[in-house]
Amino acid sequence: MPKIVIAIDGYSSCGKSTTAKAVAARMSYGYIDTGAMYRAVSLYFIQERVSLSNSREVTAALEKIHITFNHNNRTGKNETCLNSLNVEDEIRKMYISNIVSEVSAIPEVRWAMVAQQQKMGRRRGVVMDGRDIGTKVFPDAEVKVFMTADTYTRARRRQQELLAKGELINLDDIIQNLEKRDLIDTTRIESPLRQADDAILLDTSHMTIEEQVDWVIELADRRL
């Protein structure tokens, strides 16, 4: 059977990653969390005190960054590795969420990540989630979904995720962070977040993860 690319774009905390991961598992496809890559770059920039406004420093730092994904057979979880170190838990923290959209708006950062993502998906058979997969990384993706949900629902979901990891953040701070990220993501010059003309809109406000997964699989089945 031919393998396709499934691009899932949209706003933060709409259930993109959870859905994409489950779709990939059901289809025996690879899963690439492109947001994790921008988060890993942000972590490296913080650790190495890279000045975001200095493009020479940014370019030099990007050359030293190697991001990989590892499936941990013991926990059954996907881990993001930055220069061979598992940073999965660290990159999900609020201090990374607070700078990741500024980092990912830097053109040099985007060029480097987009090139790497295109390489990772070149054999197809992948589900990739992010902000610019259907518009920039794989404009020829066979399936394009654009996810949205109301801000309150997204914030509650994000709060639960953080709580499950032991970080208690109040709802207003989360809403503020989501709105700030949406604004930066949709207004940046280089591949801003937008729905591709041929992407299908999915409002997940009143959907369970299972319903979202079934919906994407059904769409994929029709394209296979």
Binding-site residue numbers for ATP are 10-18
Interface with ligand C5P in residues 2-61 (CB under 6 A): 12, 34-35, 38-39
Cβ atoms of residues 196 and 145 within 8 Å: no
27 vs 136, which CB is nearer to ligand C5P?
Answer: 136
According to the binding rule CB under 6 A, does residue 158 interact with ligand C5P?
A: no
Sheet of strand 85-86: strand arrangement: 67-72, 77-82, 85-86
Interface with ligand C5P in residues 74-133 (CB under 6 A): 100-101, 104, 130-132
32 vs 213, which CB is nearer to ligand C5P?
Answer: 32
Structure tokens at 49: 């005190």
E-only strand ranges, the chain: 5-10, 30-33, 67-72, 77-82, 85-86, 126-130, 143-148, 200-203
Three-class DSSP category at 191 = coil
43 vs 100, which CB is nearer to ligand C5P?
Answer: 100
CB of 17 to ligand C5P, least distance (A): 6
Binding site for ligand C5P (CB under 6 A): 12, 34-35, 38-39, 100-101, 104, 130-132, 181, 185
